[in-house]
Structure 1
Amino acid sequence: MSLPFDNLYRHGFVRAALCAPVMALAHPAANARASIDMARGAAAQGARLVLFPEMGLCGYSIEDLLLQTTLLDAVEAGLATIAEASRDIPALLILGAPLRQGPGVFNCAVAIQGGHILAAIPKTYLPNYREFYEKRQIAPAMTATADEITIAGQTVPFGTDIILPAEDNPDAVVHIEICEDLWTPIPPSSRGALAGATILCNLSGSPVTVGKAEDRRALADAQSRSTISAYLYTAAGMGESTTDLAWDGQLSAFEYGELLGEGARFSDEAEMLVVDIDVEKLAQERRRIGSFRDAGLGEDLAFRRIPFRLDPPGGPLPLKREIARFPYVPARPEKLDQDCYETWNIQVTGLMTRLRSTGLKKLVIGVSGGLDSTQALIVAARTMDRLGLPRSNIIGVTLPGFATSDGTKTSAWALMRGLGVDAREVDIKPLATQLLKDLNHPYSEGHNQYDVTFENVQAGLRTDYLFRLANHSGGLVVGTGDLSELALGWCTYGVGDHMSHYNVNASLPKTLIQHMIRWVIGAGIYDADVGATLEAILGTEISPELVPPGADGVIQSTQAIIGPYELQDFHLFQTLRWGFSPGKVAFLAQSAWGDAARGAWPRGIEGADRHAYDLPTIKHWLRIFLRRFFGQSQFKRSAVPNAPKISSGGSLSPRGDWRAPSDGLADAWLEALEREVPDV
């Protein structure tokens, strides 16, 4: 079935529902009915994986009732009822139940779909300490006498060596473990993940004590990180016996360390948490990380594969999960503060180390009054403070050209004076005019031909001067160009802003630099006058200032040419960090930046709700991004100066995250864009 563009299943997502019904203690028939109702509700929302708690058919806390024939017969009857009802519930249902096999009763997870009981997975590790006495009634998985079990007349696979792959999405593979299994040094789900499972499910009956919820979160989070998986956790809730314990019904879902969602705890009603899992992202990441593959060497990964089908709904199905508009900039204020602190210190300590290693005491930097040179200059000033050197050892030079505005030049001078650096100005127009004349460029004859030569003559002269000044003064040229510019090739190659002795900004995208400057202001690192200058710079239009304003007074705008940085940084992150196809990048961009997402971001990020982009606009700018990133700019990235990597979002150094041929073509990505993304 061909799915529409705005259906999440088309783009490698799977919707799952984690359920915590109100328990009818020791009443399997009632619990079966409640489970069916919740499963129908989940499937109606597009969920194709529905997970219930441990012993959900009868209750975890019924103790010796687990050895009563009447109870066990009723559990099987309840499973038969659910299996029959599942014929018209298009989802894989995973329920907890005690089952008889050989001489034991096993605590099991039972997978059901389309009228069939697909498999039963017994609990591997049984807690038998403190408040737990599970071994009194339950047999551990390793004591099973066969690898099959008969449930309600159906003979099905039985054991811990089972994973469930989706026939219609090879990246969606389910592994199931039960409660205590996660609390062990090597959880069964670790082997399941190495065998290919991307969605790890935990049916839990865990009672609650103070602080235990955070322990569960930490374990689920860590397991999702180490196994590069989604980890879904369901705990028993209302209705369990409170003879000696209490229950909170915790529902948590993590995807490779990202919290997808949590349900309400201590609810007196049934709770459901619906999450969208990016199984394609998980599979992509595993392909990149060779140590994940190596971890399976020598392991017995001979799992039985019991297939199921997702059969996603055919109409539009937008994402429920929030997609960060600014993937390089955390939305939570406390996380943003931490990231800015670390970014700042990576930049500063990187530059300190380079100065110490060279034995140089001076820095040379071109100061334009724009964002990038501002960030580089305030980093340089802090570096000198840390090294115990005077800030006057920084030679800051503003180099006005044919289009330099009074505003940016004023900001450059105010910043240099405020920081106490050795501030200088060199007018490059006379030398640029002579060079254009030597090139027989029409501008020298009075014609306003503002072509790439006109622009690059200015950019080249600025960098040439800075290098010669560094030679003359015994200094090191600090680069200012950022990650966004490297991605789009928006820099003058060689003797231009592409080159320096050391570039502190090369791994910072434009959107993060804006927030770094705001963070420096808020942290009070410099005095109020410098802070005011930084505020003024943040409000300045982003422009290379290489072409004079037109007759209408409109200045040269970078973003009008190469696209809005907020959107292009989004495209960069999804392409560089995850390797997504153009269709998926566009889908995610629409989910984050479309009109429907506008009201979903009261997140404290300045500008987060400023714009919305429709799909044709996203496609237009993504086309430009793909053409420039894959087809035009790699030769510049193949020859970049040293710079510290900043974030897991990646760098573009050929010695680091990104290695590609300089003569590569963008055709495959551009063709995929036209094929995968509709025009309306």
Structure 2
Amino acid sequence: MPSRKFDTRSRAARQAHTMTGNFFNLYSHRFARVAVGVPRCKVADPAFNAAQTMALARDAVAQGAALVAFPELGLSAYTCDDLFHQAALLDGCERALAVIVEASRDLPAALVVGLPLRVNHALFNCAVVVAQGRILGVVPKTYLPNYGEFYEARQFTSGDCTVARHIDLAGQRAPFGASMLFDVSDVPGLRFHVEICEDVWVPIPPSCFAALAGATVLVNLSASNIVVGKSGYRHQLVGQQSARCLAAYLYTSAGRGESSTDLAWDGQAIIYENGELLAESERFLDDSHLIVADVDLERLSHERMRQTTFGQSVLRHQAETERFQVVSFELGLAFDQALPLQREVERFPYVPADRRRRDQRCNEVYNIQVQALVQRLSAIDMDKVVIGVSGGLDSTHALLVCAKAMDRLGLPRSHIIAATMPGFATSGRTLQQARALMRLIGCTTLEIDIRPSCEQMLKDIGHPYAQGQDVYDITFENVQAGERTSHLFRLANFHNAIVIGTGDLSELALGWCTYGVGDHMSHYNVNASVPKTLIAHLVRWVAETGTVEGDGSQVLLDILATEISPELVPGKSDGGAPAQRTEQFIGPYELQDFNLYYILRYGFAPAKVAFLALAAWQDREKGEWPEEAHVARNQYELAAIKRNLGIFVHRFFKTSQFKRSCVPNAPKVGSGGSLSPRGDWRAPSDSEKAVWEADLANVPETGPDA
């Protein structure tokens, strides 16, 4: 990958370019590439250590990183013990730092390096932030471990024990203190804080207050020797700190070259974002090594904005946050070339790619739905439900939930009144699947031909179909949907039951449901916060786990293999393909669920969603996704991504909110959000879509290699 050159344009021009930039450059979408380096070191050899550090720094910059962190006391090595009080070593470390400062002049990245420094007759364990020939700040370690194998208080003084606010170092005057934030002004949202090793092991790490003061990236320069079990604890510590602070966290520990007199070193480097592991180095490597990750700064910002208790915490700890000094600087990043995302973006954000995690997700979602239905039936003192069964995915899964709920309540499954209602376009395949499924479940089965009542309705309203004309308009379709719904509600009255809704989250998002009928209205809907892609995996999970009797797995697999269609318009021949293909109207559900997740959960603008979709749906090496062998390995070019995203924007923001404003009660099943007007989504029914379409217009039609 080519190196980026220093950008000599004005600050205003660079900031403007940051907000637009090259669509195919990750920085244009408020990502920042960060790196953690673990250089091979030699104890008390600052010149060697500086050379190893700069080699990794250049490698990181060549890969597009804007921030690179290195280990604690990396220029001296951590294990110098009483050598830290030798003037020759300390002088050598300062000379090595001067070399790094000079070498950084042509690098558009901030480097964070560790070394011992003398300040006002005391020795401090420090992190120095360097960028483009400048020392931006010096951060002393606050908490000095002096237990077990650690004796830092023997050599060093805590950063709390100084009155110095600036120091002279390498011929420059630099800010000094633990309460500093470093703001990269030409990378919006990249504001980082530095703490050192033990600082994150204490009950209230300094980075907690730094995050409240605005830091989105937390950097820890650590040495951290290795003992059995410590690696896992580092993961817990760093992961939880990143989650608690709604931040990214970069952690590095010392590696090969540190003294093994009493200790061993594994060189573990970790990068987390809001509790999610983005990158980890291989441990116990002989050579210098580097990890790189793309941090989503906008996602972090959105989470803090959404989680309003974060802002309450800022107010509660105002005294601590006001102590922070902000050091602003520019890196001169140029965004006019493609820099694709290296971060893994899952194609199915509602469905984990890993089979074990996917099974756990399905089990939990299924049980949430069942438990919610059990509670509703118990609360209203009813023991029967009515459900329409079409032979398609949504009603299949809802019926499975009803069956399990009856089992939990100790009621016979005959208390489920399941009705399949063939109409003018019902295919033989879906009708047979509905019959087989109801037999499998053991519910009370009704088959009601709605064509006579539909014909009467069409005649009553003077529809051309009643005069023998083949007019299959929206009225023709909705008469059928309405008749089915009317039957279900009257059956519920007759049997003292409630109607269970089957419509899913994807249909609500796209408005692909008829107002007031079965896929929109019910007494209780178990599927309303479950997207279509997840429902497919839930049905497959039930089939694969063998929780249905007899030939039940094959029945479910047949339903999964059926093309999605409302079956409201007759086809040209019996037994042929359906006349209506849902995904031809609204786009592939796998793409639209992807769009839904990032727009609903994180509020991302369409251009960023398209950028993420391109990263997720680009060609992958054969066998790279072995856990998705059952999923069609579709590839989508940018033009298709943009086109389908346009469909989503139009339907979600312009035409469908009035349907979502009056949906029945339904359980929320995941952090991906729901569209309940009482829960995750409150929006006006008559808003405009112009700003989303304007942003979508920034998406090119073809990729960078076209």
Same fold (TM over 0.5): yes
Tell me which residue corresponds to 1:566. 590
Contact 2:132/2:331 (8 A) holds in 1 = no
Task: Tell me, in whole angstroms, the C-alpha distance in 1 between the residues paired with 2:250 and 2:632.
Answer: 31
- Asked if 1:219 corresponds to 2:237, the answer is yes
Deviation at 1:394, TM superposition (A): 0.2
Partner residue, 2:410: 388
Contact 2:395–2:502 (Cα < 8 Å) also in 1: yes
Aligned to 1:420: 442
**Bigger mean CA deviation after superposition, 597-606 or 82-91:** 597-606
Q: Hey, what does 2:178 align to over in structure 1?
A: 160
User: Which residue does the alignment assign to 1:486?
Assistant: 508
- Match of 1:658? 681
The partner residue of 2:483 within 461, 464, 487 is 461
Q: Is residue 499 from structure 1 mapped to residue 518 from structure 2 by the alignment?
A: no
Q: Structure 1 residue 308 and structure 2 residue 332: aligned?
A: no
Q: Distance in 2 between matches of 1:647 and 1:36?
A: 45
For residues 280 and 676 of structure 2, the distance between their equivalents in structure 1, rounded to whole angstroms, comes to 38
* Aligned with residue 29 of structure 2, among 11, 28, 41: 11
Distance 1:657 1:603, change over 3 A: farther
Q: After TM superposition, give the deviation of residue 554 of structure 1 in Å.
A: 3.5
Paired AA for residue 440 in structure 1 = G
Q: Show CA shifts across 1:544-565 (max 9, x none).
A: 1111124694311101110000
1:261 paired with 2:261, answer no
Aligned match for 2:56, one of 35, 38, 55: 38
Q: Choose which of 459, 474, 481 in structure 1 pairs with 2:496.
A: 474
Name the CA distance, whole Å, in 2 between partners of 1:372 and 1:308. 54
**Whole-angstrom CA distance in 1 between matches of 2:668 and 2:516:** 21
Identity fraction in percent = 54
Give the conservation status (yes or no) of the 8 Å contact 1:121–1:160.
yes
Distance across 1 between alignment mates of 2:39 and 2:586:
52
Return the offset for 1:438: 1.4
2:654 is aligned with 1:627: no
* Structure 2 counterparts to residues 577-656 of structure 1, below 5 A: 577-595=601-619, 597=620, 599=622, 601-608=624-631, 610-656=633-679
Residue by residue over 1:171-191, the C-alpha shift from the partner in whole angstroms, topping out at 9 and shown as x without a partner, is: 111011111111111110000
> C-alpha displacement at 1:262, in angstroms?
0.6
**Distance in 2, Cα, partners of 1:37 & 1:21:** 9
CA contact (8 A) 1:507 1:644 kept: yes
Question: How many angstroms apart in 2 are the aligned matches of 1:549 and 1:432?
Answer: 18
- Is 1:451 the counterpart of 2:473? The answer is yes
Which of these residues, 79, 84, 90, is aligned with residue 72 of structure 1? 90
Deviation at 1:607, TM superposition (A): 4.7
Structure 1 residues 598 and 400: CA distance shift in structure 2, 3 A: farther
**Cα distance in 2 between the residues matched to 1:369 and 1:609:** 21
Q: What corresponds to 1:234 in structure 2? A: 252
Shift of 1:606: 3.9
Cross-structure match for 2:145: 127
Decide which of 369, 378, 388 is 1:366's aligned counterpart. 388
8 Å contact from structure 2 (residues 131, 331) kept in 1: no
Contact 1:325 1:608 in 2 (8 A): no
Q: Indicate conservation of the 8 Å contact 1:54/1:204, yes or no.
A: yes
Tell me if the contact between 1:6 and 1:317 (Cα under 8 Å) persists in the aligned partners.
Answer: yes
Q: Take 2:197 and 2:270, find their aligned partners in 1: how far apart are those partners?
A: 13
Contact 1:482 1:508 in 2 (8 A): yes
After alignment, is 622-631 or 168-177 more displaced? Answer: 168-177
Query: Compared with structure 1, are the counterparts of its residues 658 and 320 closer, same or farther at alpha carbon in structure 2 (3 Å cutoff)?
Result: same
Preserved contact between residue 594 and residue 615 of structure 1 (Cα < 8 Å): no
Partners of 1:394 and 1:312 in 2: CA distance: 63
Task: Output the CA distance in 2 between the equivalents of 1:42 and 1:609.
Answer: 36
2:530 corresponds to 1:530? no
Q: Which segment drifts farther, 640-649 or 94-103? A: 94-103
Report the alpha carbon displacement of residue 321 of structure 1 after superposing the two structures with TM.
Answer: 1.0
Where 2:125 maps in the other structure, the secondary structure is strand
Which of these residues, 364, 368, 382, is aligned with residue 342 of structure 1? 364
Verify the 8 A CA contact 1:363 1:393 in the aligned structure 2: yes
Q: Secondary structure at the match of 1:135?
A: helix
The 1-side partners of 2:276 and 2:628 are apart by 19
8 A Cα contact 2:43 2:257, kept in partner: yes
Q: Residue 111 in 1 paired to residue 139 in 2?
A: no
Q: Equivalents in 1 of 2:238, 2:304: separation in Å?
A: 18
Offset at residue 308 of structure 1 (A): 2.5
Cα drift, residue 655 of structure 1: 0.6
1:144-184 CA deviation, whole Å, 9 max, x = no partner?
A: 13111221121100101100011113311101111111111
Contact 1:367 1:373 in 2 (8 A): yes
- On the 8 A contact 1:25/1:240 being kept in 2, the answer is yes
What secondary structure, in the 3-state scheme, does the structure 2 residue paired with 1:169 have?
Answer: coil
Unaligned 5+ segments in structure 2 are 1-13
C-alpha contact (below 8 Å) 1:590/1:615 kept by paired residues: yes
Counterpart code for 1:399: M
Q: What CA distance in whole angstroms lies between the structure 1 residues aligned with 2:631 and 2:256?
A: 39
Residues 1:50 and 2:68 aligned together: yes
Q: What amino acid maps onto 1:256 in structure 2? A: N
- The aligned counterpart of 1:319 is 341
Q: Deviations over 1:89-123 (max 9, x none)?
A: 11000011111111211111100001011101111
Contact 2:637–2:702 under 8 Å retained in 1: no
Q: d(CA) in 1 for partners of 2:568 and 2:120?
A: 82
Query: 1:145-294 residue pairs with structure 2 within 5 A?
Result: 145-294=163-312
C-alpha contact (below 8 Å) 2:488/2:499 kept by paired residues: yes
Which residue is 1:20 aligned to? Answer: 38
2: CA distance, partners of 1:69 / 1:115: 25
Conservation of the 8 A alpha-carbon contact between 1:67 and 1:137: yes
Amino acid at match of 1:5: F
Counterpart contact for 1:46–1:312, Cα < 8 Å = no
- How far the C-alpha of 1:605 sits from its partner, in A, is 2.2
Q: How much has 1:12 moved relative to structure 2?
A: 0.6
In structure 2, distance between residues paired with 1:414 and 1:521? 14
The structural deviation recorded for 1:439 is 1.6
**Which SS does the other structure have where 1:275 is aligned?**
strand
1: distance between equivalents of 2:79 and 2:550?
62
Shift of 1:679: 5.6
Asked whether the equivalents of residues 598 and 611 of structure 1 are also in contact (C-alpha less than 8 Å), the reply is: no
In 2: Cα distance, 1:326 partner to 1:549 partner: 32
- How far 1:436 moved relative to its partner? 1.2
Whether the aligned pair in 2 keeps the contact of 1:108 and 1:122 (CA below 8 Å) is yes
| Alpha-carbon distance, 1:518 to partner | 1.3
- CA contact under 8 A between 2:56 and 2:289: conserved in structure 1? no
Question: What is the identity, as a one-letter code, of the residue corresponding to 1:636?
Answer: K
> 8 Å contact 2:224–2:265 — kept in the other structure?
yes
Scaled by the length of structure 2, the TM-score of the pair is 0.95
SS at match of 1:647: coil
Structure 1 residue 434: deviation in Å?
Answer: 1.2
Give per-residue Cα distances to partners, 1:518-541, cap 9 Å, x unaligned.
111222221131111111101110
Q: Deviations over 1:63-108 (max 9, x none)?
A: 1111111111011000100000000111000011111111211111
1:309 is displaced (CA, Å) by 2.3
